[in-house]
Amino acid sequence: MTLIVDGVIHHLDSDISHKLASKTYLSISKKVIGYTYNAVSGSIASGRVADISPSMDRDRVTETAVPKLDNLIGMKIDTIFFPGKEDMDFLFISAKNWLVLKEYALFPEEYSMRIELNTLVVKHKKYKLYSKGTVVYKA
């Protein structure tokens, strides 16, 4: 089964201390990965892109001639886990994946992404995420 994370793409202005991480991320509740799988900073959650669309919270998206976003559906994606403060953690999109996504003019705060994550690597140990069911987290 899988973990589905659905939320707005955000951008962090400060430095990221992990060489594989971009500065773009999705927020996720601590209970979903951090507490359940004892994830530590730098853990890698992998899966695929299920959907990308303009964020419903925005009145207007920057006008661009965007190629069909359908081309990105099914793309393999890696995210790098970082623990946050209070009740939220962060899944930073890998720098390698962001190189592709940014060329489609996916401006942070203007687009939402739905990703299906299947595996998590924590300290060289690989876990199947929610192998007996599907968890959907909508930020």
Residue 47 amino acid letter: G
Distance CA 68, CA 121 (A): 32
pLDDT tens digits along 8-52: 999 987 766 678 889 999 999 999 999 999 999 999 999 999 999
> What is the mean predicted confidence (pLDDT) over 55-67?
64
| Half-sphere exposure for 59 (CA within 13 Å, toward CB) | 0
What is the model's pTM? 0.90
- The tens digit of pLDDT for each residue in 78-107 reads 999 999 988 999 999 999 999 999 998 888
Tell me how far CA of residue 89 lies from CA of 9, 34, 64, 96, in angstroms: 14, 7, 31, 21
Do residues 63 and 81 make contact, with C-beta atoms less than 8 angstroms apart?
A: no
Q: What angle do CA 95, 97, 101 make, to 5 degrees?
A: 110
- How many CB atoms sit inside 10 A of residue 47's CB? 20
CA distance 53 to 70: 10
Domain span at 114? 2-138
Please give the biggest Cα pair distance in the chain: 43
- Single out the residue of 18, 12, 15 nearest to residue 95, CA to CA: 18
Q: How many distinct structural domains can be found in the chain?
A: 1
Give the pLDDT confidence score for residue 38 in this predicted structure.
94
Sign of the alpha-carbon torsion through 10, 77, 94, 69:
negative
